[in-house]
Each structure stands twice: as structure tokens, then as C-alpha cells.
Amino acid sequence: MNKKKTILILPGDGIGPEVCKPAKNILESVSHIYDLGLSFEEALVGGSAYEETGIPLPEETLEAARKADSILLGAVGGHQWDELEYQYRPERALLGLRSELDLFANFRPAILSKHLTSSSSLKPEKVENLDLLIIRELTGGIYFGEPRGRKEDKPVAFNTMIYSQEEIERIGRVAFEAAQKRNKNLCSVDKANVLEVSVLWREVISDLSKEYPDVKLSHMLVDNAAMQLVREPKQFDVIVTGNLFGDILSDIAAMMTGSIGMLPSASVNSENKGMFEPVHGSAPDIAGKGLANPLATILSAAMMLRYSFGFEEAASNIEVAIDKVLAEGYRTHDLEGSQDTQLSTDEMGKKVLDNLKN
């Protein structure tokens, strides 16, 4: 029997609890099928934590995250917390977890299922067989840079974008190694024509490329990269970029896959301990209605099995089960399909679970 591995589930806000429920059910099932030894704990985070404790990331949650072998997160945020002071906003919990656990490498795959080509916002010939990976640096850059703040005597606010050579090198190595396992093509995205921090980024990535002669490296300015993702997305294999640019580009890539409800993500540290979450937000407008697409969260759970634990067979079988559900024509409301094949959140999770067991 495998040694017990603890997964901390942080359902969060909005649709977070709804999409975490089927993902947990599937993780429990594969743990039983493959004798993986998974156990589960749950804690508050985001707006729900603020309502209970007055802060979005309670010390109890942070301590549980430190002790857990991996973390599955639903979503945080909601309109009712939009007017809170900066330090109390639900999103601060995400930044806190990333920083405290040093989750510096964010993997955001954009893979279009052959069964969802018609659901993409781009022409079928532009996105058919799309399979690209965006690797976003997650613990540096403008989201964490100091100084930051507002001038009280005038309507002025400021943030600072900072990257060190060490930070760039470590995310660069992750990206080069990922490219080696794929098609050996890496595009580094920056804004080196106007930002000093991007000049350093480009220099460090270029120097690092000498250690990976089998990987073809190119550089692209972020505004051009955004345009190229829409114009010809299949030209990319792996993209590596900083925190702010990665945040924006990964959401652009999301819409090519039919729905943001289809995109998982992994945020890992140097020991492959990670936090796995769907790219979508808390979607308070549909919370509680059974309309949320759980597939991104289920795919995030599969990424967890692969990246944190090395359970490749279990991860692949979850992905195959999802593909089979889509091949059968079943959809959630965010995906193009007929009313007869539209499923609720729980129904979609059950369909995936049934296919997994079979």
C-alpha cells in the first residue's frame, strides 16, 4: 500500500465548492482503484474565510497548506468583497499561499479537445489539435514588488515590477525542461523594448539557452504575443513569461479551448509540491445554480496526480474519461451543444466518474 498522502481542499467562494465536490469524488475513486493512499482535509480560504475569521488566509489554513502533500483550490472572490481594503480582499489569499509555499512555477496548458473544436472562439482550422503550454512565473514581478501603495495627499497609486537573475533563471530552467519533453520549442515573452526588467529577463533567458542546445529559443514582445495567440496559436509550443504577462496571455489562450471552464493549472515549487486549480474565477453570477463546468477542476486534479505524486496512469485515465464524456456529446452550459445533452455540474462529474470506473 502506498504511503498516505494528504490533499488539502480549499473550496473557496462562488462556484468553488461546486466544482471541488466532483473533483474530490474522482480523486477518492482513483485512490481506491489504484491504491494511492490519498486522504483529504478541508479549510477556509478567500471570502468565506474572511466572513468567518476576518482575514482571507487564516493561520490555520496556511499551516494546513504547509503540512499537506498537495492542495486543490476551487476559486476565491465575489462582488460582496470588492470594496474591502486591499489586505482583506479574497485574492490576497492566493498571493499569500503562492508566496509562503514558494509556488513559483505556474503551468497553464491550453489543449483543445477534438470534440470541442466548434466551441472555440477561433476558426476550426486555426485551433484544431491545439496543444500549447504557458509557464508563468508566479511569485515575483509586479504583484509582489516593493514599494507599492498610494499617496494620501493626491490620487496617485504605484506598484513596482522587480525580477532578480535568480528568479528568472529558475523559471527559465522549468520552461526549458518542459520544452525538452514536448516539441523543443520555447518562446520567451517580455517587453524588452520599454522595460528594464524585461531587458534583464531577455538577457538571462538567452544565457540560459546555452545549457539547452536542443531547444529552439525565440523572444517575443508581449503585445505581439497576444496578437499572435489569436492570429496563429499553433505556432507556439511552450511560452515562458513573467507574472503579469502570464496572467493575461493564459486567459487569452483559455478562450481558444472552447471555454475557460476547460483550463486547469498547476503552481509548484522546487520540490513539485503544488496548488492545483481551475483557471476560471468564482463566477458569483452562476454560483449555486449547478451551471458551473467542473472539468477544469477535475483536470487540475489529474495534473496534481501527475506533477506532485507521479501517478501518471491515474492522471491519464481521468483525462481519457473526460474525453469520452465529450465524445458522447455531453456538455455543460458554457460549451456549445444541444439542450438534450447539457448537464449540471454534478451530472458532468458523475459522467466522468462512471467512465473512469468502466
Active site members: 143, 191, 223, 247, 251
Helix (H, G, I), strand (E, B) or coil at 247: helix
Helix (H) or strand (E) holding 217: strand 216-221
Residues 6+ apart with CB under 8 A from 3: 37
C-alpha 155: how far from chain center: 34
Cell of 138: 508566479
Measured distance CA(351)–CA(346) in Å, rounded: 9
Helix (H, G, I), strand (E, B) or coil at 58: coil
| Among 325, 311, 358, 349, CA closest to 115 | 325
Measured distance CA(254)–CA(209) in Å, rounded: 28
Measured distance CA(9)–CA(142) in Å, rounded: 28
Residues 6+ apart with CB under 8 A from 290: 18, 344, 345, 346
Cell of 243: 507574472
Measured distance CA(280)–CA(163) in Å, rounded: 27
Neighbours of 128 (CB within 10 A): 13
